[in-house]
Structure 1
Amino acid sequence: MRAQAPINDESAQMVACLPRLRRYARALVGERSGADDLVQDTCERAWARLHTWRQGSDMRAWLFGIMHNLHVDQRRKPGLATTPIDDTGFEASTRATQADALEIRDLETALAQLPVEQREVLLLIALEDMSYEEVARTLGIPSGTVMSRLSRGREKLRAQMQGRPQVNSLKVVK
C-alpha cells in the first residue's frame, strides 16, 4: 500500500474547480465522454504547467483558459472515427415534467446553433458566473468583444427560443 502525497493548496484549488470545468466542457462539447476527455486533458496540462500559474491569481480563470485553448485545438484537428457508447442506462436523475425536458432540449439545440464564439462567452458568463474581465482574460479577447458577443448571443438565443426567424442585421453598403 503506497502512501498518498499530501494535498497542497494548488491541488485543492484545482479539485474545487472540477465541477465547473466539467459543466462548461459538457456545454462546449455536447456529449459526456468528450467533455470528460476535455476536462482530463485540461487537468493534465494544468498539472504539468502548474509552475506557470501565478500564486494568488484566479486558478479558475487560468484553468478555463487552458480548457478553451485545448478545445480550439481539438476543433481544428480532424478527429478519429468513433462509435458512441449508449450510456443512457446510467442516468440516475429524471426531469420533473415532460415540459421541462422539452424546454431543456430546445435550449440545448438553440445553444448548439449559436456561433462557437458567442456560445463560449454566453456559457462562461451565464453558467460559470464569470465577469466580463475574467472572460476576456480567459479567451484572450478585449472586454468590448466579450460584451458584443454576449449581446448578440443572447439575442439569437432569445429569438430561437421564441421561434422568431433570425434577421441578419448586416447591411450591404455600395
Structure 2
Amino acid sequence: MQEELTDLVPSLRKFAYSLTGNMHDADDLLQTTLEKLLCKPLPKEATLMAWAFRVCRNVWIDEYRAQKVRQQAAQSPELQEQGNVEEDAVLSGEITLKQVSNAMGSLPDEQKETLSLVAVQGMSYQDASKILSVPTGTIMSRLARARAKLSTVLRAEHGVFS
C-alpha cells in the first residue's frame, strides 16, 4: 500500500493546494493526510485513491473549522496581520495562476472541491462522486456552476462584461 500511496502524493498535493490556496498550508494538509492514511487500514470496499482524497478533504474540513474557532477566539490585531505584499514583479504566468486561484477561492467549498477533482486532478465524474459521497448528477451540476462562476469572475477582472 505504501508504494501505491507514494504514487498518489503529487495528486493529493495538488488537491490540498486547491483546497487551501497556498503551498504552505497544502503541505501541512498533505502531511496530516498521509499520517492518517498510514495509521488506518484501507476500508474493505474502498479504492485507495477514493479513500485518500476523502481523508484529505475531511482533514481540511476539520482544520478549516478549527481555524474559524481560533480566529473568533483571537481578536488581537497582531495575530490577524496579513503577510507583506511581494515587492518584486510577478511573471505573467504566475499572475494568471494567482487570478485563477483567487477566482477559485470565491467558489463555495462544494464547487471548489468538485472543480479541483474533475478539472485539476482529471478524475471522472464517477470517481469524484465516490470521493465526495454525492450522486454523479450533483458532480455535473456543481462543475457547471463552478465553471460559470469562474468565467464570470475572470471576465470581470479583465474588464470584459459580455
TM-score range, shorter chain: 0.7 to 0.9
Residue 136 of structure 2 corresponds to residue 143 of structure 1 = yes
Structural mapping, 1:51-130, within 5 Å:
51-52=42-43, 54=45, 58-77=47-66, 78-79=69-70, 98-130=91-123
Residue 29 of structure 2 corresponds to residue 38 of structure 1 = yes
Deviations 1:13-37 (A, max 9, x none): 0111111111110111012221111
Structure possessing the higher radius of gyration over alpha carbons: 1
Q: Is the 8 A contact 2:42 2:48 kept in 1?
A: no
Equivalent residue number for residue 49 of structure 1? 40
- What is the aligned length? 146
Q: How far, CA to CA, are the matches of 1:128 and 1:51 in structure 2?
A: 21
Q: Is the 8 A contact 2:13 2:27 kept in 1?
A: yes
Q: CA deviation at 1:99?
A: 3.0
Please give the TM-score of this superposition, normalised by the length of structure 2. 0.79
Q: Is the 8 A contact 1:136 1:143 kept in 2?
A: yes
- Stretches of structure 2 that go unaligned for 5 or more consecutive residues are 72-78
Q: Is the 8 A contact 2:42 2:51 kept in 1?
A: no
> 1:52–1:114: structure 2 CA closer, same or farther, 3 Å change rule?
same
- Stretches of structure 1 that go unaligned for 5 or more consecutive residues are 1-9, 89-94, 166-174
**RCO higher in structure (CA 8 A, sep ≥6):** 2
When you count helix as a share of all residues, which structure comes out higher?
Answer: 2
Equivalent residue number for residue 5 of structure 1? none
Residue 25 of structure 2 corresponds to residue 25 of structure 1 = no
Q: CA deviation at 1:79?
A: 3.7
> 1:65–1:161: structure 2 CA closer, same or farther, 3 Å change rule?
same
Please give the TM-score of this superposition, normalised by the length of structure 1. 0.74
Over the matched positions of the two proteins, sequence identity in percent amounts to 30
Which amino acid in 2 is paired with 1:58? Answer: T
> 1:104–1:51: structure 2 CA closer, same or farther, 3 Å change rule?
closer
Q: CA deviation at 1:102?
A: 2.3
- What secondary structure is seen at the aligned counterpart in 2 of 1:141? coil
